[in-house]
Structure 1
Amino acid sequence: MVGTPFSSGHPLADRRADFAATMAAGAAWVDAAEVMSSALELAPDWAAGWYQLGDYFESACDAEAAATAWRKAIELEPGDPFGAGLKIDLQRAVPVVETMPTAFVETLFDQYAPRFEASLVGKLDYTGPDVIMRALTEVGFERASSAIDLGCGTGLMGEALRERCDWLGGYDVSQEMLKQAARKGIYDFLGKQDLCALEVSDLRYDLIVAADVFIYVGALERVIGWAANSLAPRGQVAFTVERGEAPLELRESRRFAHSEEYVLGVLRNAGFKYITLTDCVLRKDRGVDVKAFCVVASMEPLVSRFDRDGGEVVAA
């Protein structure tokens, strides 16, 4: 589960929760839910316990009971560090959530940080930085005076960029991920920042990148608007998104997918005229390739091919 350490502070409740987890490991979901419910009778203010109870009910195919438990978790922790609201939304025929709770993303990656690279690169065949660098090279990118890595994580994208940037900064919502990135010594600046709350300042960047990050942002209007107002002349924004059919699609993985039409619409509305889209596979999820596309966009042409094509380029 995602959340704070799985302890209620009540020894007997913790023992019952451990017993419930053992039952769940054997797929005895109804029994696990019953025992977990008895643990919560002893620790009724245990938000993480209510979230876990919801998961047990969901696995037991009791959607109504699961939603009730998740609502209790949100009531106790309004910031929703467990992502219970996303689980409730996924029960709807058409999910309506357009962004993720900041506390959920922060908690998720604070916990994930120590094993992030071993898991993402070693087990999931993650290729985000390579995909973005190839796409940038294709449109003529050579070097940036200043670049900002949104959702920099442990610095995988930064490692790919470092030799081609005079100044490189990174933002991430997770302090633990930032600690991992700082150890590499590749960033000139690192800051803790919710990407959904970026504010335009006097700083201007030649390059803004977001590798496999917008899947945790959801609706892109605000962050793309920020990028449009934060680019230097002839600057570029480059990012990857999971490919979806609907404009904005919350998946069972509790990540967002985006359609080409939606992404293009957001970019055009923000003033971007020169756009490339490149199909790619970012990583694997349970052994299956995650279909995605990489975007490079600018308001002014960077290389002559844009001039020949007379403006916008959309490449499959």
Structure 2
Amino acid sequence: MSNDRLSASRRLDVALAMASRGDSDAAIEVAQAAIEADSDWDEAYFVLGEMLEKAGQKEAAIDAYRACLKRDATDRMGAEVRLMLLGAIAVRDRLPPDYVRALFDDYAPRFDVSLRDKLAYRAPELMFEAVRVLIADMAHPREVLDLGCGTGLVADVFAGQVDVLDGVDLSPRMLNRARAKGLYRQLLAADITSMPDMVTARYGLVVAADVLNYLGDLEPVLAMIHSRLLPGGILVMSLEEGEIYPFDLGPGQRFRHHPDVIAAWLKRADLEVVSDVPGVLRQEKGISVTGRIVVARAVTAIASLSVLPGTLGSAPDGDLVAPETVH
């Protein structure tokens, strides 16, 4: 570390300590001093942007995030995401992959505890209930592809009911946690928008739990999913529900999709809806995050299935918070 970076780092640590005590004006001043010590440090600009945003200085925060993005084209800190949320740039079709990878690599050690105990995350259970009867009717071997598998929360729920689970995730550290559970046959670090070859070419079931929320335009990935399903194979996915067509970026930094566009994309991907049921996926800051559990089949016609109306369930309320963008 250069002397300039070391000096800047020390000043930024002081600024963060001041911010944690609620002294925002002093924190901003010291963060600016850190940038004066090292004007090329992208992280300092991002932290300054966060402080300015919390202080209600929107335009100054936008300038800081732009400066961060200028110094890190990969955008591992998610400056572009903040600019989207502030309305400074148009909403993109996806979140920056390097940002998502860095976010979940950092989050991996506390991911399971945070989602289960703090955020009351229930999507895997809701998804299993949505396909329980369909899994029972699947021919053996029951091979499942878990997209965005993370630490293996889907495997925790599905493993005892299927023969084989393969997983793909962008974050190597999340995959290390999943591998330690011993529930997957194959785990690959890859972007699901450019899927690698797997041991199995086509699966009876594809599960996408809380992963498609990091993509805006789902049409290409739904076509990919269809290509990985056996005839009659099933897709089950969780989506956060939005009111803006076709999608928008929510404050939790995940995309929310309008139900009408999902129906249109599924039809174009030759995936016919079996069920589409609302449910509470998690809690964030004590507020229920409503989503949908969508089940679709890769056939030209589907048998009539009885799907009960209503919600799949709700999670207990609590004083819970979403993961931070930067740690």
CA drift at 1:277: 0.3
| Alpha-carbon distance, 1:158 to partner | 1.2
Matches of 1:227 and 1:40, distance apart in 2: 45
SS in 1 for 2:168: strand
Give, as a single letter, the amino acid of the residue that structure 2 aligns with 1:258: H
Change (3 A) 1:250 1:164: same
Deviation at 1:11, TM superposition (A): 2.9
Query: In structure 2, how many angstroms separate the alpha carbons of the residues matched to 1:145 and 1:8?
Result: 58
Which residue in the other structure is 2:111 paired with? 116
TM-score, scaled relative to structure 1: 0.89
Normalised by the size of structure 2, how large is the TM-score? 0.86
Give how far 1:300 is off: 2.7
Find out whether 1:263 has 2:258 as its counterpart. Answer: no
In the TM superposition, residue 165 of structure 1 has moved relative to its aligned partner by 2.2
Matched, 1:27 2:22: yes
Confirm or deny: 8 A CA contact 1:81 1:107 kept in the other structure: yes
Structure 2 counterpart of 1:252, which letter? P
Cα offset, 1:29, TM superposition: 2.4
Partner of 1:96: 91
C-alpha displacement of 1:185: 0.5
Change (3 A) 1:140 1:300: farther
Gaps of 5+ in 1: 1-6
Preserved CA contact (<8 Å) 1:70 1:85: yes
Task: Give, in whole Å, the separation in 1 of the partners of 2:161 and 2:137.
Answer: 7
Counterparts of 1:141 and 1:243, CA distance in 2:
29
Change (3 A) 1:83 1:213: same
Q: CA deviation at 1:214?
A: 1.1
Structure 1 counterpart of 2:324: none
Deviates more, 1:157-166 or 1:108-117: 157-166
Name the CA shift for 1:216/1:12 in 2 (closer, same or farther; >3 Å). same
Equivalent residue runs for 1:129-148 within 5 Å: 129-139=124-134, 141-143=136-138, 145-148=142-145
Q: Post-superposition shift, 1:78?
A: 0.6
The answer to whether the aligner puts 1:51 opposite 2:50 as a matched pair is no
Q: 1:76 to 1:8 in 2, by over 3 A?
A: farther
C-alpha separation between the residues in 1 aligned to 2:297 and 2:149?
Answer: 21
Query: Which of 63, 70, 83 matches 1:68?
Result: 63
2:34 pairs with 1:39: yes
Which stretch shifts more, 7-16 or 262-271? 7-16
> Do the aligned residues in 2 keep the contact of 1:23 with 1:32 (CA within 8 Å)?
yes
Offset at residue 206 of structure 1 (A): 0.8
State the percentage of identical aligned residues. 34
| Helix, strand or coil at the partner of 1:218 | coil
- Per the alignment, in what secondary structure is the counterpart of residue 291 of structure 1? strand
